Structure 1
Amino acid sequence: MPSASLPAGVDPRSPVIIGVGQHLQRTDQGADELSPSGLMTESLRLALDDTGAASPDALGRSLGWVAAVPALTWRYHDAAREVVTAIGADRAITATCAMGGHSPNYLLGAAAREIAAGRLDLAAITGGEAGRARAGHRSSGIQPDWGTQGDDVEPDQVVGPTEMEMAHPAEAAHGLFLPTQMYPLFETALRAASGRSVEAHQAYIGALWAGYAAVAAENPHAWDRTAYSVDELITPTPANRWVGWPYTKHLVSNARVDMGASIVVASAEAALAAGVPADRWVFLHAGTDATDRLASERGSFTTSPAMRLAGGRALELAGVAPDELDLVDLYSCFPSAVQLAAAELGIDTDRTLTTWGGLCFAGGPWNNPVSHALAATVDALRERGGDRSGGRALVTANGGIVHKHSFCVLGTAPPERGFRWEAPQAEVDAAEEAVPVDLEPSGAATIEAYTVMHDRENRPERAHAAVRLTAGARAWAFTDDPDSMAELMATEGVGRRVRVDDATLRLD
C-alpha cells in the first residue's frame, strides 16, 4: 500500500497498536475454566476483533511474531506456540523473555523496534495467568488437564537475557526472596525520608491506594471492583491481615486472579493494508529499558536511578514533559513502587496514577499486569483521540525488587520524530556505586529500612532490617523478640542506632 494513502504525517513504518483484548475468567460466576495459554488465546482473539479489520481471523493468521509473557501458574516451554496453533498463525515466530513484571513493555518495545526497522509487519504480545484456578486445584488436590509440552519444545526467540536475577547472595542466604519481604523495606525508608509519623504515613499510602481502587471500581475488566476507603485499606482485620508491615493484604498485589490480555501491533502501512480503521490506531512514541542494582547493593532505598534515567529518557525521546501527559499508569505492586516512580519521574501523586486500577484491585497476574494496563490505556486514548490531536500516555513496568524497568510512551497522534528507543544502562550503572555487603556482620549499625513479617494469624513473626555498619557496609539483621518488633511498629526505626551480633538485631 503506498505511503501516500496513509494519514498525513504518518511514517509507513510507524509501529501502531491496532487491537487490545482482555479476558476476565470468573469461574465463581459460571465461566468455563481456561488454562493460562487458553486465557492468552481468548484475549488475543478479542484483540484481533478489536482492530475492526474486515477479517480478524485472517489478520490473526497473518501474524509474523507472537510473544508470550512468561507464565507462572502453569509450566510452558513455549506458551506462544500454543497460541499460534490455536489461531492458525502457522508462520509466526514465537518469542518470550525472562520473568518479571517489566515483560509486557519489554516485549512491546522489542516488537516496535523490529517494525520500525522494516523487519516485521504484524505482531502480538499476549499473557495469561490462572492464579485463582490453581489455588483451587491445590486446595482440592486436583491436577488440571491443561496439557504438557515436551522438553524439546522451545520458543523461536528469547528477547534479552534468558533469566532475571531476583536476589543478591546476601539476601538468598537469609531467605529474602519474596516481594512481600522486600518492598516494605522501601516503604519504611520512604516514610522516614518524608518526615511523616507512622500513623500519618499509613493514611498517606491508604489515600494513594484508594485512588487506584476508585479507578478499578469503574473498570469492567477489574478483578475487584470495590471502591475501598482509606480505613478499609490500612486497618488490619482478619480479612485484611498484616503481610509485611506496614502493608496489609489490601496494600499488596493480588495474584489470585484468572486473567488474560493481549496487544496487537503493526506497521502503519500493514494496518492500512489490513483495513484497520485509523481511529483504532494508537502510536508508539518511545520506549526505554534499564536495570537497577539488587537491593543489597543499591545506593538507597528511597531512589531508583533506572526509573529516573530510563523513565526520564522515555519522556525526552517522546518530547513530552511529565505534566503534559494526559494519562499515566504507574506500576503498582506495592505503594513504595508508585512513590518511587512518581518522585523519580516528577509526576504529581495528586493526579490519577492508573488507567485500569492497579495490581491490588484490577489484578496482579504475576508477570502480566502491564498487558492489562496497556490495553486500558489504549482504550482510554482512543476515547480521547478524536481528531488525532489527542492524548499522550506513559505506562511504566517494574520487574523483580525495583530491579528491571521498562517504559512506554503512547499517543493518538503520530510521533514527530518517529518511534525512538534507548537502553541507558551505562548511565544507570554510573549513577551510583555498589554498596559493599558484609555477610558476617557484627557491631554498631544504623537501620536504613526494615519490616515486620506477620503470620497468617496476624501475629508478628520476625523483623528484618537493612543496616549500615560503622565502616559503611550494608548487612541484613533479624529479630523475633516480641518487644523489639512491637517497638519497631510503634515508632520510627529508620535511623535508629542498633547492634548486630551474627545477624541478630539488637535495639539499643
Structure 2
Amino acid sequence: MGMSAGPDRLPVIAGVAQHDRRPDDPLGQPDPCAMIASALRAAAKDSGAGEPLLGRVQSLRVPRVLCWSYGDPGAQVAERLGLGPAETVSAHIGGDTPQLLVNDAAEAIARGELDVAAIAGAEALHTVSLARREGVELDWPGDDERQPTRTLGPDRPPTTPAEQSVGLFAPVSVYPLIENALRHRAGRTVEAHQRWLGELWSRFSGAAGENPHAWSRTVHSGSEIADASAQNRAVSFPYTKLMNANPLVDQAAALIVCSLQAAQEAGVPAERCVFLHAGAEASDEWFLSQRGELDASPAIRAAGRALLEAGGRDIDEVAHLDLYSCFPSAVQVAARELGLGSEPDRALTVTGGLAFAGGPGNNYVTHSIARMVEILRQQPGALGLTTGVGWYMTKHALGLMSGEPPRDGYRRADLGEVRDRPPRSAVVGEPARGTAEACTLLFERDGSASYGVATLLRDDGARALAKVSDPDSIALLIDEAFLGARARVDCPPGADAVLLAD
C-alpha cells in the first residue's frame, strides 16, 4: 500500500473540464484526440494556473478510445498541445480504467516519482454513427506505429467460449441476467421489481437534470423508464432502453493531477485543489459463469473496505457517491457490497449515470471524477467516493477524495483477484437438472423475443448454462415462480436447449 512522504507530496486534482457536442453534420468535426486536447486546455484554465501547469505534464494518460483507432492517442494529444511528457499511459478496455489511471498517478506522486499528470479521454460515437448512416467518411488521423509507454491493467478475454455459445457475450445480455438474480434475492415479483427499477433509475435521471454536463437532462418518471413503449423499447428482460448505458455521445473530459507542491508552484489557488485520499482496485472471479454468486462481488466488498480503511473513514462519512451505472444491476451490487444495503435511499450518483449523463466508452469515470471535484470544491469538508467497473462486474477501481487533506497521506491498495470460494465448473450443451438461478430474455427491435438465457445450479455445485428459443422455454423464463424452483435442461441435437420445470 503506497503512502505520501509528506504534505508537499499529497496528490491533488487541480483542474477539471468536460465538453460535449451534438453536430447535425459529421463532416468537419474534430477527432477524439482534438477533443481531448481541448478538454486539457480547459482543465488547465479551470485550475487557475493555465498553460504553465499544463506545460509541466510529465505523464499523459488516455483511456483507450473505442470509437476510433489510434496507436498512441496520448502521443497525438501531446503533439497537438506542444507537450513533451516523459511517458504516455493507457489501460486495457474497461470502465474502471480512468480511476485506475488516477490511482496509479496519485501513488507515483505520493512517492515522489511524478509531479504532474493529466488523465483525459474522449468518445465521438454520435459523430461516427451519424457518418455511417449518411455514408460519409471521416477524415480523421488514426493508427500509427507508436504505442503508449505503459498500458495498465489485465489484458484477458472477458468471456469463455461456453458463455459465448449461449449468447452471454455483450453487456445487454450479461447485466440483465445479474438483475434477475437480484430480483430473486430481494423476493420481489416481476412487476414489483420493474416498478422498483423504474424508481431507482428515475432518481438517476433527476441527478442528470441537475448536472450541467449531462448528455440528457430530461427527468423521467419511474413509469416512463419501467414501461416499454415505442420510444423506450424492451431490450433485455427486465431492461428497457432507458435502463441501458447510452454510448451514442460526443463527450470529452480531463483531469490534471499533481502534487500539492506543484500546484502551489504553478499558482493554483488553494480552493481549486481537491485532495486524493485513497484508491483501491480488485477483480472478481474473472469469468461470470465461474463465480460463486452472480449477483455478488467479493472484489467490491474487499476494495471498498480497503479504500475506507486506507482513508480512515466509514461509508457513512461519505457525503457524495458515484457508483458505476452501466446498468441498474451494477449499482445494486456495488451499493450492497459497500455496506449501503440492498435498497439505499441516499443519492448514488453525482452525474446521472451512463444512461442519462452519457456513456462515453471507457471514459465515463473521468466525467464522474470531474463532476465530483466540482461538488467538493463547493463543500470542501465533504468526502466523495467514485467507482468504475470493467467488463461484466469483473474488475473494479475506487477512489476517495475531499477538499480537505487526508489524515495520513495518500494510500492505495491493489488487491488483485478476490475470491470467496473456488471457481464453479460451468457446463453447456449437456442435459442438466438443478435450481433455477438467473435468466434473461433478449428482444428484437420489433419487440419479439430473440433468445433467452438461463442458469441452473446443479446439486454438485456446477453451473449449467442454457440458450433457449422455443416459446415454452421462453414462457418459463419469465414465469413468476421460475427462479428458485427446480428445472431441467434438455439438449436436442442441432438445436437450442429446451427448458422444463422439474
State the TM-score, normalized to the length of structure 1. 0.93
For residues 505 and 322 of structure 1, the distance between their equivalents in structure 2, rounded to whole angstroms, comes to 45
Pairing of 1:261-272 with structure 2 (within 5 A): 261-272=253-264
Q: Which residue of 2 aligns with 1:144?
A: 138
Q: Which residue of 2 aligns with 1:454?
A: 443
Q: Which of these residues, 21, 24, 30, is aligned with residue 25 of structure 1?
A: 21
Q: Which moved more, 1:469-478 or 1:70-79?
A: 469-478
Q: Which residue of 2 aligns with 1:368?
A: 363
Q: Which residue of 2 aligns with 1:78?
A: 72
Q: Is the 8 A contact 2:278 2:400 kept in 1?
A: yes
- Alignment of 1:394 onto 2:394: no
Other structure's SS at 2:362 match: coil
Q: Is the 8 A contact 2:121 2:366 kept in 1?
A: yes
Q: Is the 8 A contact 1:198 1:492 kept in 2?
A: no
Q: Is the 8 A contact 2:118 2:254 kept in 1?
A: yes
For residues 316 and 168 of structure 1, the distance between their equivalents in structure 2, rounded to whole angstroms, comes to 35
Q: Is the 8 A contact 1:57 1:87 kept in 2?
A: no
Q: Which moved more, 1:163-172 or 1:128-137?
A: 163-172
Q: Which residue of 2 aligns with 1:156?
A: 149
Unaligned runs of 5+ in 1: 1-8
Tell me how far 1:441 sits from its aligned partner.
Answer: 2.5
Other structure's SS at 2:478 match: helix
For residues 156 and 276 of structure 2, the distance between their equivalents in structure 1, rounded to whole angstroms, comes to 26
Q: Which residue of 1 aligns with 2:350?
A: 355
Q: Which of these residues, 242, 246, 250, is aligned with residue 258 of structure 1?
A: 250
The 1:160–1:187 alpha-carbon spacing in structure 2 relative to 1, beyond 3 Å, is closer
- Alignment of 1:436 onto 2:425: yes
For residues 75 and 221 of structure 1, the distance between their equivalents in structure 2, rounded to whole angstroms, comes to 26
Q: Is the 8 A contact 1:325 1:392 kept in 2?
A: yes
1:322-360 Cα deviation digits (max 9, x unpaired):
111111111100000000000000125201111111000
Tell me how far 1:467 sits from its aligned partner.
Answer: 1.6
Q: Is the 8 A contact 2:433 2:456 kept in 1?
A: no
- Alignment of 1:274 onto 2:269: no
What is the CA RMSD across the aligned residues, in angstroms? Answer: 1.7
The 1:351–1:59 alpha-carbon spacing in structure 2 relative to 1, beyond 3 Å, is same
- Alignment of 1:377 onto 2:372: yes
1:236-261 Cα deviation digits (max 9, x unpaired):
01211111110000001000011000
Q: Which moved more, 1:357-366 or 1:134-143?
A: 134-143
For residues 488 and 85 of structure 2, the distance between their equivalents in structure 1, rounded to whole angstroms, comes to 62
Q: Which moved more, 1:75-84 or 1:481-490?
A: 481-490
Q: Is the 8 A contact 1:20 1:262 kept in 2?
A: yes
Q: Is the 8 A contact 1:392 1:411 kept in 2?
A: yes
- Alignment of 1:409 onto 2:403: no
Tell me how far 1:304 sits from its aligned partner.
Answer: 0.4
- Alignment of 1:36 onto 2:32: yes
Q: Which of these residues, 295, 298, 302, is aligned with residue 288 of structure 2?
A: 295
Other structure's SS at 2:151 match: strand
Q: Is the 8 A contact 1:84 1:92 kept in 2?
A: no
For residues 194 and 499 of structure 2, the distance between their equivalents in structure 1, rounded to whole angstroms, comes to 26
Letter in 2 for 1:451: T
1:132-172 Cα deviation digits (max 9, x unpaired):
1111111122220111232x2111111233x2431123213
- Alignment of 1:423 onto 2:417: no
For residues 23 and 308 of structure 1, the distance between their equivalents in structure 2, rounded to whole angstroms, comes to 33
Other structure's SS at 1:328 match: strand
For residues 263 and 83 of structure 1, the distance between their equivalents in structure 2, rounded to whole angstroms, comes to 14
Other structure's SS at 2:400 match: strand
- Alignment of 1:325 onto 2:356: no
For residues 189 and 290 of structure 2, the distance between their equivalents in structure 1, rounded to whole angstroms, comes to 27
Give every structure 1 segment of 4 or more consecutive aligned residues whose post-TM-superposition deviation is greater than 6 Å. 29-32
Q: Which residue of 2 aligns with 1:99?
A: 93
Q: Is the 8 A contact 1:25 1:32 kept in 2?
A: no
Letter in 2 for 1:409: L
Tell me how far 1:131 sits from its aligned partner.
Answer: 1.1
- Alignment of 1:50 onto 2:46: yes
Q: Which of these residues, 307, 312, 324, is aligned with residue 305 of structure 2?
A: 312
Q: Is the 8 A contact 2:26 2:138 kept in 1?
A: no
For residues 141 and 475 of structure 1, the distance between their equivalents in structure 2, rounded to whole angstroms, comes to 44
The 1:133–1:30 alpha-carbon spacing in structure 2 relative to 1, beyond 3 Å, is closer
The 1:438–1:489 alpha-carbon spacing in structure 2 relative to 1, beyond 3 Å, is closer
Q: Is the 8 A contact 2:26 2:128 kept in 1?
A: no
Q: Which of these residues, 462, 470, 491, is aligned with residue 481 of structure 1?
A: 470
Letter in 1 for 2:386: V
Tell me how far 1:383 sits from its aligned partner.
Answer: 0.8
The 1:483–1:169 alpha-carbon spacing in structure 2 relative to 1, beyond 3 Å, is closer
For residues 20 and 226 of structure 1, the distance between their equivalents in structure 2, rounded to whole angstroms, comes to 24
Tell me how far 1:493 sits from its aligned partner.
Answer: 2.3
For residues 35 and 488 of structure 1, the distance between their equivalents in structure 2, rounded to whole angstroms, comes to 44
The 1:23–1:164 alpha-carbon spacing in structure 2 relative to 1, beyond 3 Å, is farther
